[in-house]
Amino acid sequence: MRRRPIPEATVGRLPIYLRALLDLAESRGETNVSSDELARLAGVNAAKVRKDLSYLGSYGTRGVGYDVEYLLYQITRELGLTQDWPAAIVGIGNLGRALASYKGFSERGFRITAIFDVDESVIGEEVGGMIVRHLDELKEVVAEMGTSIGIIATPPLAAQEVADKLVDAGVKSILNFAPAVVNVPPDVTVRKVDLSIELQILSFYQQRTQAIATAREANRRLRNQHGAG
Amino acid sequence: MRRRPIPEATVGRLPIYLRALLDLAESRGETNVSSDELARLAGVNAAKVRKDLSYLGSYGTRGVGYDVEYLLYQITRELGLTQDWPAAIVGIGNLGRALASYKGFSERGFRITAIFDVDESVIGEEVGGMIVRHLDELKEVVAEMGTSIGIIATPPLAAQEVADKLVDAGVKSILNFAPAVVNVPPDVTVRKVDLSIELQILSFYQQRTQAIATAREANRRLRNQHGAG
DNA sequence: TAACGCTTGTGAGCGTAATCACAAACCGAA
DNA sequence: TTCGGTTTGTGATTACGCTCACAAGCGTTA
Ligand SMILES: NC(=O)c1ccc[n+]([C@@H]2O[C@H](COP(=O)([O-])OP(=O)(O)OC[C@H]3O[C@@H](n4cnc5c(N)ncnc54)[C@H](O)[C@@H]3O)[C@@H](O)[C@H]2O)c1
Ligand SMILES: NC(=O)c1ccc[n+]([C@@H]2O[C@H](COP(=O)([O-])OP(=O)(O)OC[C@H]3O[C@@H](n4cnc5c(N)ncnc54)[C@H](O)[C@@H]3O)[C@@H](O)[C@H]2O)c1
């Protein structure tokens, strides 16, 4: 019954507002916040904050601002964080272990409830308070635990195969850490976290500014030479 | 001297094409590729591939496609990957360790050359073939090694402080893993990798489709009841 | 109640990105 | 050389997102 659908760009920012609001509520004991203040905390434009929040409804008070607790509740509800989301990690290597032991997920409704691998020397081991199970048990465990999110932390070559198995097991949301493109049916959402891509983007922009600096330098030299000659 | 600047969205996709091309060249021994094929491998639209590549120049041959090696070289050059980018990690906990030991970075010009922490019990320890140094040595080490990329893997409360120190040391590119907004001067680029945000976005879309399914179900029941009553 | 300062909510304008659709260009065959 | 099949490169169009700017609405004060 919503007036307008929430744009993708807005969905991506709601978690940032959520974090800023939690900080305001818990650490600073603020009960009220203006779009200006929230914008500063989230590192975005104030008009953008207001427009983003307006998609959720008219929850602010003109001349006053937003009630922190109420806004927290509304964003939490909108993001579906009032319920618990059991997640499973596949691939318990370096990264999978760090993720499995990470305490930060549980803070907001995400719980890692099962971890999988195919390496016999890893299976049965305890990581982050859980026993590593064989990938063959995936479907069964997912059904039993109502797992809704699958996290892929295998080498890239295994990523598509693992994604297929997650889909087959009924998982509709996948977070992929492997540097590989994975294809899934349209009713499944995949998001990727790719460090190499991020580094390469940083490289591009840094190289560009370096190139500009070098060109300026060359220009300066040329001018000086010309002046002197 | 480029005809047009490369759009941000394109820069974000060049690394994906790069990976697909490397796969074609190394694993499959292909010397030529069409925009259709490349689009399939990268999981995007073919017209988008052609437009993206056209920002680099006219490197394709009509009726034939693109020469894999040549395209590889051009993208590599454009992304600034012909040179090495020494990187430093700050915060050697769970995640920092996984990153420091990760072999995947070096494959493309990124080398972790120094790792830092402030915890005395961690400093001096060897991780990924490097000795953990105290953050106080940052400026000195960055100058010495020509570090160009800083990676933040500390708790969120320390992130801004660490970013400030990286900036002060002359680092112009930062990759931030801490769930916190960090502010830097305009000549510094920050990119963030935030797992919680990704999970929350997945939660949003999954919750939405569940809500739709529930609404359909309720509707169906209502109709049935109506029909029966 | 009226006047004032403050902040929201949103229409309008602008810029960026995605997609479409097709002329131009190339290759190989005849 | 011509023709047909193929694929690029790009103008045109549409969709999306960001920012501006301001009327509308609220609380406070007198
Ligand atoms: N470690 C990092 O810091 C880091 C950084 C960026 C990206 N990544 C990516 O994350 C992924 C995991 O990295 P890692 O360093 O943990 O690698 P890793 O080699 O340490 O661990 C991979 C694990 O996946 C398991 N595995 C292999 N095939 C499997 C399959 N078909 N099903 C289930 N499990 C399987 C292996 O047994 C192993 O335990 C890789 O794709 C890597 O490129 C890692
Ligand atoms: N572990 C994960 O899988 C994971 C997942 C998502 C996000 N993160 C985020 O990544 C960051 C690191 O996570 P972690 O699990 O490795 O945490 P951790 O607590 O294991 O490690 C943090 C490290 O940072 C060091 N540190 C603290 N303050 C510092 C400072 N001012 N300067 C330098 N070093 C400092 C600590 O001594 C510690 O070694 C956190 O912000 C966390 O939220 C981690």
Give the whole-angstrom CA distance, residue B69 versus residue A75. Answer: 48
- The answer on pLDDT for A229 being more than 50 is no
Q: Considering only CB atoms, which chain B residues are within 8 Å of A183?
A: 43
Two structure tokens written together for A216? 């300026």
pLDDT tens digits for range A11-61 = 999 999 999 999 999 988 999 999 999 999 999 999 999 999 999 999 999
| Partner-chain contact B207 A19, CB within 8 Å | no
| 3-state SS class at A84 | coil
CA of B121 to the centre of ligand 2 (A): 15
Instruction: Give the pLDDT of residue A210.
Output: 76
The predicted model gives B198-221 an average pLDDT of 81
Amino acid at residue number A135: L
Question: Which residues lie across from B88 on neighbouring strands?
Answer: B114, B150
Mutate to test the pocket of ligand 1, among A92, A95, A137 (most ligand atoms within 8 A of CB): A95
Place of tokens 């320890």: B125
Closest ligand 2 atom, CA of B94? 16
Give the whole-angstrom CA distance, residue A61 versus residue B28. Answer: 61
Instruction: Give the pLDDT of residue A109.
Output: 84
Instruction: Give the pLDDT of residue B166.
Output: 98
B192: closest CA among B202, B182, B201, B200?
B182
| 3-state SS class at B219 | helix
Longest CA–CA span in chain B (Å) reads 83
Instruction: Give the pLDDT of residue B1.
Output: 33
- Confirm if B8 and B65 have CB atoms less than 8 A apart: no
The predicted model gives A167-190 an average pLDDT of 97
Residue B222's pLDDT band, with cuts at 50, 70 and 90, is low
Q: Tell me the backbone φ, ψ of residue A33, rounded to 5 degrees.
A: -150, 140
- Confirm if B141 and B147 have CB atoms less than 8 A apart: yes
Instruction: Give the pLDDT of residue A209.
Output: 83
Q: What are the b/e assignments for B133-148, b being 16+ CB within 10 Å? A: bebeebeebbeeeebb
Could you say which of A94, A110, A174 has the minimum Cβ distance to residue B102?
A94
The predicted model gives B177-206 an average pLDDT of 97
Give the whole-angstrom CA distance, residue B54 versus residue A28. Answer: 51
Q: Any CB–CB contact under 8 A between B110 and chain A?
A: yes
- Confirm if B156 and B125 have CB atoms less than 8 A apart: no
Terminal CA-CA length for chain B: 76
The predicted model gives A132-153 an average pLDDT of 98
Q: Which residues touch strand C (CB under 7 A)?
A: A 33-36, 46-47, 50-51, 53-54, 58-66; B 7-10, 44-45, 47-48, 50-51, 61-64
| Average pLDDT for chain A | 93
| Average pLDDT for chain B | 93
**How remote is the C-alpha of B80 from its chain's centroid?**
15
Q: Whose CA is nearest to atom 15 of ligand 1?
A: A94
Give the whole-angstrom CA distance, residue A149 versus residue B65. Answer: 39
Q: Whose CA is nearest to atom 31 of ligand 2?
A: B158
Give the whole-angstrom CA distance, residue A179 versus residue A193. Answer: 8
Distance from CA of B201 to the nearest CA of A (A): 6
Which value, to the nearest 10 degrees, does the dihedral of the CA atoms of residues A215, A217, A219, A222 take?
A: -140
Give the whole-angstrom CA distance, residue A147 versus residue A113. Answer: 8
- Residue scoring higher pLDDT (A32 or A212): A32
Give the whole-angstrom CA distance, residue B131 versus residue B148. Answer: 19
Give the whole-angstrom CA distance, residue A76 versus residue A14. Answer: 9
The predicted model gives B113-130 an average pLDDT of 98
Place of tokens 């490197």: B59
- Confirm if A22 and A72 have CB atoms less than 8 A apart: yes
For the CA of A133, the nearest ligand:
1
Give the whole-angstrom CA distance, residue B24 versus residue A194. Answer: 20
Could you say which nucleotides of strand C lie within 7 A of any protein CB atom? 5-11, 16-21, 24-27
Distance (Å) from CA B189 to C1' D20? 26
Give the whole-angstrom CA distance, residue A213 versus residue A191. Answer: 36
The predicted model gives B157-185 an average pLDDT of 98
- The answer on pLDDT for A90 being more than 50 is yes
Give the whole-angstrom CA distance, residue A171 versus residue A159. Answer: 15
Helical (H) or strand (E) element with B38? helix B35-42
Distances in Å between the alpha carbon of B49 and those of A206, A208, B38? 24, 22, 7
A19: closest CA among B77, B222, B199?
B199
Instruction: Give the pLDDT of residue A1.
Output: 34
| Partner-chain contact B204 A148, CB within 8 Å | no
Q: For the ranges A206-210, B46-50, B99-103, which has the lowest average pLDDT? A: A206-210
pLDDT tens digits for range B53-106 = 999 999 999 999 999 999 999 999 999 999 999 999 999 999 999 999 999 887
Residue in chain A nearest B75 by alpha carbon = A204
Distance from CA of A29 to the nearest CA of B (A): 17
CA of A153 to the centre of ligand 1 (A): 5
- The answer on pLDDT for A126 being more than 50 is yes
